[in-house]
Amino acid sequence: MIKEFKQDVKSIYESIINFKDADIEGFKQKWDVKNYIADVYQTLSKKELKKETGSFYTPIEIVEFMTDRIVEEINFNGKLNFKIVDPSCGGGYFLIRIFEKLKEKMKSIGTQNIDEHIIKNNIYGYDIDEYAVMITVIELYERGGYVPKNIILGDFLTSDLQKFDIVIGNPPYMGHKILTGEYRSMLYEMYGEVFSDKADLSYCFIKKSIDALNERGRLVFITSRYMLEALNAEGIRRYIKNKIRIKSIVDFYGIRLIKGAGVDNIIIDFVKDDKIEDIEYFRLLEKAKGKGKRVFQDINDGRCEFVKNIMVNANSLEDNGWIFLSKSEREVLNKIKGICISDICESFQGIITGCDKAFVLKKDLAKKLNIEENLLKPWIKSSNIEKFMVMPSDDVIIYSNIIDDINKYEKAINFIERFKPALENRRECRKGVRKWYELQWGRDESIFENEKIIFPYKSSSNRFSLDFGSYFSADVYMIKIRDMFLKTTSYKYLCGVLNSSIYEFYIKSMAKKLGDNMYEYYPNKIMSIKIPQYIKEIEDEVNNFKEDTIYRIDMILCKTFGITEDEYDIIRSWCS
């Protein structure tokens, strides 16, 4: 069906550019086009194709919010030949809306031949999908009656460009793993300041767009919010701060509006204007979910039913991660002082088996199969971790790294051997670094056997647990106090501090947001936080654990840091 659709699109397109009769209405009836031709194209296109190209079309309410706002704020000042470009125009959603809104605005100032003028002088687009380009041309032609010459089949990132007054759109989201080696190498060479290691393709689009702007030009994108926090986005954050001013950011904060993209979004609004110092930051609240256009109306009207609105000074943003906090939130954060956890502790990741089903099984099954007991270790996952304690698990792992002679462990080898082809295909086995029956990354056995604090990599709240003897999967991390500091601090004290509301606020204020009400508890962030010197009262509270233990620890920390009652209310608003 997609093949026939493409043939029909191409036929209509060729009729238009050759100035022949084009039965656009008949085409739309045949394919049941209710609003936009791109809607049908998106439905017929395979999901895999979207992932290959990083192309996910933008919901119309977002298109309207971005375009209507920017067109309303255009000040013509006698200049009507300004240029607006969508660098990855897809099916033309942004350009169609811009055409319609510009037409309304130009009517009010009495411009002649409006349709022709807009199509020839104001609207530009690029895309690498030839059918998306054709669809955009068809849509604009139908509305304006003139053939658009400025919708280009080509790669915006590698094209020689003129300067633009406005860049707007939804650049592709593509990680380093999807991009081909040759193209990726070219991007490294062209965009090395912002694109390296595991950086996203969208960072290249942001840089190119900034470079393509005229003075006082404007860039409005809906893009991945990982740009705010990700380690590999440090280059693009630095580039933005050095080259352009941030006017506003709308942070969807885990509420995913682009179906299938698997990306948390923000809308960024940048202006080449040195006068702008304060950033208007909007963060969607949980109750904004499913509200669609009402959310954007809320922003436009200055209400705060669905959004939190604060002003943030641009100078407060650091290259290693952008944190958007209100003045009062930042004042609270600045009160939390102490020594870096990394100064007194080490962190480790859990086991990567390379094939869980070859090593992880139920205790009862292990007993039934008579698997050698000294190989069996208690196995937990992130779901077993609660605040302060680990919930029991029925699973065990065959810790095969301690097998010194396979003939001594016949039962275990028989179980693991069922998956031998998959195990042999693991990278480390192919390289000869691991024997086929060994764990891919088994870590050091001693770090599991000894006392430690463990926590899940992803969680909706702080879940730090005391543990002694558990082995666990790679989605769990551990903190181990360095031997030299065991006399001056304790695991119970550290666990009490990390499970407090004060430190939940602290961690969430800088953690990467992951979808709906989830945060990334990545070790590099956890190990960078500061804790006060050992406070015996906190360890006592953990020893005498009660229902209100966390509150009591909170009060100790509030006294230590000088946090007021009003500030504590701010802290509590961040906690699950």
Mean pLDDT calculated for residue range 102-129? 90
Q: Is residue 38 one of the residues assigned to a domain?
A: no
Contact criterion met (CB below 8 Å) for 496 and 542 = yes
Mean pLDDT calculated for residue range 236-250? 94
Contact criterion met (CB below 8 Å) for 252 and 225 = yes
Q: Quick check: helix, strand or coil at residue 250?
A: strand
Strand partners, 301: none
- The rounded distance, in Å, linking the Cα atoms of 418 and 63 is 53
Say whether pLDDT at 19 is over 50.
Answer: yes
Listed range (196-200, 260-264, 449-453) with the worst mean pLDDT: 260-264
Mean pLDDT calculated for residue range 175-184? 70
Contact criterion met (CB below 8 Å) for 125 and 151 = yes
Q: Is residue 266 one of the residues assigned to a domain?
A: no
- Beta-carbon contacts of 367 under 8 Å, excluding residues fewer than 6 positions away, are none
What is the predicted pLDDT for the residue at 551?
A: 97
Closest C-alpha among 25, 6, 289 to residue 141: 25
Q: Quick check: helix, strand or coil at residue 339?
A: strand
- Compute φ and ψ for 226, nearest 5 degrees: -60, -25
Listed range (223-232, 349-358, 367-376) with the worst mean pLDDT: 223-232
Say whether pLDDT at 170 is over 60.
Answer: yes
Strand partners, 266: 223, 251
DSSP character at residue 392: P
Closest C-alpha among 528, 506, 488 to residue 341: 528
Mean pLDDT calculated for residue range 445-456? 94
- Residue in the structure block whose two tokens are 């006698």: 78
Mean pLDDT calculated for residue range 136-144? 96
What is the predicted pLDDT for the residue at 196?
A: 81
Sign of dihedral through CA atoms 500, 503, 505, 508?
A: negative
Cα separation values, 43 from 49, 91, 128, 411, Å: 12, 12, 19, 52
Contact criterion met (CB below 8 Å) for 493 and 485 = no
Mean confidence (pLDDT) of the chain = 91
- Beta-carbon contacts of 26 under 8 Å, excluding residues fewer than 6 positions away, are none
Mean pLDDT calculated for residue range 468-495? 95
- The rounded distance, in Å, linking the Cα atoms of 124 and 86 is 6
User: Which residue did the predictor score with more confidence, 262 or 456?
Assistant: 456
- The rounded distance, in Å, linking the Cα atoms of 458 and 94 is 35
Containing domain of residue 501, as a range?
344-572
Mean pLDDT calculated for residue range 373-393? 95
Q: Is residue 366 one of the residues assigned to a domain?
A: yes
Mean pLDDT calculated for residue range 301-307? 83
What is the predicted pLDDT for the residue at 274?
A: 78
Q: Is residue 423 one of the residues assigned to a domain?
A: yes
Q: Is residue 463 one of the residues assigned to a domain?
A: yes
Question: Apex CA 308: angle with CA 302 and CA 314, to 5°?
Answer: 95
User: Which residue did the predictor score with more confidence, 275 or 565?
Assistant: 565
Mean pLDDT calculated for residue range 220-240? 91
Task: Please classify residue 307 by burial: count the beta carbons closer than 10 Å to its beta carbon, then call 0-12 exposed, 13-18 middle and 19+ buried.
Answer: buried
pLDDT tier, 321 (very low <50, low <70, confident <90, very high otherwise): confident
How much of the chain exceeds pLDDT 90, in percent? 73
Contact criterion met (CB below 8 Å) for 266 and 226 = no
Structure tokens at 72: 């309303």
What is the predicted pLDDT for the residue at 57?
A: 67
pLDDT tier, 54 (very low <50, low <70, confident <90, very high otherwise): very low
User: Which residue did the predictor score with more confidence, 242 or 255?
Assistant: 242
User: Which residue did the predictor score with more confidence, 126 or 290?
Assistant: 126
Tell me, rounded to whole angstroms, the distance of Cα 428 from its chain centroid. 30
Structure tokens at 445: 């056995």
Q: Is residue 355 one of the residues assigned to a domain?
A: yes
Please write the tens of the pLDDT for every residue from 524-576: 889 999 999 999 999 999 999 999 999 999 999 999 999 999 999 999 999 86
Say whether pLDDT at 197 is over 90.
Answer: no
Mean pLDDT calculated for residue range 130-135? 96
Q: Is residue 14 one of the residues assigned to a domain?
A: no
What is the predicted pLDDT for the residue at 296?
A: 87
What is the predicted pLDDT for the residue at 127?
A: 96
Contact criterion met (CB below 8 Å) for 16 and 147 = yes
Q: Is residue 480 one of the residues assigned to a domain?
A: yes
Cα separation values, 556 from 43, 497, 500, 508, 533, Å: 57, 10, 10, 20, 13
Instruction: For 183-221, give the secondary structure using H, E and C.
Output: HHHHHHHHCCCCCCCCCCHHHHHHHHHHHCEEEEEEEEE
Q: Total structural domains in the chain?
A: 1
- Beta-carbon contacts of 253 under 8 Å, excluding residues fewer than 6 positions away, are 225, 264, 283, 284, 513
What is the predicted pLDDT for the residue at 284?
A: 87
Mean pLDDT calculated for residue range 245-257? 86
User: Which residue did the predictor score with more confidence, 43 or 154?
Assistant: 154
Listed range (111-115, 255-259, 286-290, 417-421) with the worst mean pLDDT: 255-259
- Terminal CA-to-CA distance of the chain, rounded, Å? 48
Say whether pLDDT at 48 is over 50.
Answer: no
- Beta-carbon contacts of 170 under 8 Å, excluding residues fewer than 6 positions away, are 56, 57, 58, 88, 90, 94, 221, 222, 223, 258
- The rounded distance, in Å, linking the Cα atoms of 251 and 225 is 7
CATH number of residue 361's parent domain: 3.90.220
What is the predicted pLDDT for the residue at 261?
A: 55
Mean pLDDT calculated for residue range 190-212? 92
Q: Using alpha carbons only, how large is the chain's radius of gyration in Å?
A: 28
- The rounded distance, in Å, linking the Cα atoms of 2 and 277 is 49
Whole-structure pTM value? 0.84
- The rounded distance, in Å, linking the Cα atoms of 180 and 491 is 47
Q: Quick check: helix, strand or coil at residue 57?
A: coil
What is the predicted pLDDT for the residue at 260?
A: 60
pLDDT tier, 51 (very low <50, low <70, confident <90, very high otherwise): very low
